[in-house]
Amino acid sequence: NSFFEELQTDLLLLSEDFLINHPKIRSLGYKIEILEFEKRLKANKLLPKLNLEYNFLSNDPSVLNSFVNDNYKFGVNFSIPLFLRKERGALQLSKLKLENAEYEFVNRKLELNNKILALQRQFTSYQDQLQLVEELVDSYSRMLSAEERKLELGESSVFLVNTREKNLISVKLKQITLKQKLLTTRAELFRVQARFES
């Protein structure tokens, strides 16, 4: 029972921090960051271009006198395209990609949260069922031992002892099946959470 109590405490330790650190959620977060950078890059392509140029036309830049005379070139280049259809379309497309990635992020987070909650509820349900079945095993064991005592005293028959034993075996099989389902649910929960034990 202490093993299953430990599993229950594992379930209670889950928090919002877990979802933030989940590999799928982190990868979608990185995807959103990349798309935000892409959107800013596309927005910068809409800005006008300004180039400043300043070049000295001296053969020997080490000589101080060569900078004093008028041998230099200075220029300003300012340009803005008249039609920005392509750039505006690319910006709009990157905005839509970013919005889509944000929706996917929220959707995936909700899916994971719902899946984890469902598995937690399933785990708790199996745990409750297992507790009831363990009580049944105890009851059937006591009934079998009482029936065996009655048989020794001559107040019962072998048929009743066999029936009690058959019922006990049936309940023990249910107990084993529930333990298997409980452990399978735990493994599925760890898989969904992307947690691995060494």
pLDDT mean for each 10 residues of the chain (198 residues): 60 61 88 94 86 68 54 74 82 94 91 88 93 95 94 90 95 96 90 68
Q: What is the pLDDT of residue 17?
A: 62
| Conformation bin of residue 154: beta by default, left when phi > 0, alpha when psi is -120 to 50 | left
What ranges in the chain are assigned the alpha helix state H? Answer: 2-12, 16-20, 23-44, 85-153, 158-193
Euclidean distance between CA atoms 108 and 100, whole angstroms: 12
Q: What is the pLDDT of residue 53?
A: 81
Residue-wise pLDDT for 119-175, tens only, equals 989 999 999 999 999 999 999 999 999 999 999 998 889 999 999 999 999 999 999
Q: Tell me what pLDDT residue 176 has.
A: 96
3-state secondary structure of 155: coil
| Percentage of the chain exceeding pLDDT 70 | 79
Whole-number pLDDT of residue 198 = 39
Residues 123/7, Cβ–Cβ less than 8 Å: yes
Q: Hey, what domains does the chain have and what are their CATH numbers?
A: 2-193 (1.20.1600.10)
If we measure between CA atoms, which residue out of 171, 125, 169, 164 comes closest to residue 148?
Answer: 164
Polymer length in residues for the chain: 198
74 dihedral zone (left: phi>0; alpha: psi -120 to 50; beta) = beta
Q: pTM, whole model, 2 decimals?
A: 0.66
